[in-house]
Chains A and B, each alone.
Chain A
Amino acid sequence: AQKITQTQPGMFVQEKEAVTLDCTYDTSDPSYGLFWYKQPSSGEMIFLIYQGSYDQQNATEGRYSLNFQKARKSANLVISASQLGDSAMYFCAMRDYSNTGNQFYFGTGTSLTVIP
Chain B
Amino acid sequence: GAGVSQSPRYKVAKRGQDVALRCDPISGHVSLFWYQQALGQGPEFLTYFQNEAQLDKSGLPSDRFFAERPEGSVSTLKIQRTQQEDSAVYLCASSLAQAGVSGIQYFGAGTRLSVL
Q: Tell me if B41 counts as interface (CB < 8 A to partner A).
A: yes
Cα A35 to Cα B59 with chains together (Å): 20
Cβ–Cβ contact A104 & B108, under 8 A: no
Interface positions of B from 59 to 97, Cβ below 8 Å from A: 59, 89, 91, 93
Cβ–Cβ contact B109 & A33, under 8 A: no
How many residues in B have their beta carbons less than 8 Å from beta carbons of A? 29
Return the chain B residue nearest A55 by Cβ: B102
Cβ–Cβ contact B105 & A47, under 8 A: yes
A-B contacts counted at CB < 8 A amount to: 73
Q: Tell me if A42 counts as interface (CB < 8 A to partner B).
A: yes
Cβ–Cβ contact B101 & A31, under 8 A: yes
| Given contacts A45-B91, A103-B59, A97 and B109 within 8 Å (CB-CB) | no
Cβ–Cβ contact A100 & B56, under 8 A: yes
Query: How far is the CB of B9 from the nearest CB of chain A, in Å?
Result: 8
Interface positions of B from 17 to 67, Cβ below 8 Å from A: 33, 35, 40-45, 48, 55-56, 58-59
Interface mask (A94-108 → B, CB under 8 Å = 1, otherwise 0): 011101111111111
Cβ–Cβ contact A45 & B48, under 8 A: no
Cβ–Cβ contact B91 & A104, under 8 A: no
Interface mask (A4-48 → B, CB under 8 Å = 1, otherwise 0): 100000000000000000000000000111010100001111110
Cα A46 to Cα B105 with chains together (Å): 9
Q: Could you say which residues of chain B place their CB within 8 Å of the CB of A64?
A: none
Cβ–Cβ contact A50 & B102, under 8 A: yes
Cα A44 to Cα B42 with chains together (Å): 13
Query: How far is the CB of B29 from the nearest CB of chain A, in Å?
Result: 13
Closest 6 A-B residue pairs measured CB to CB? A106-B42, A103-B45, A45-B107, A33-B101, A102-B48, A44-B109
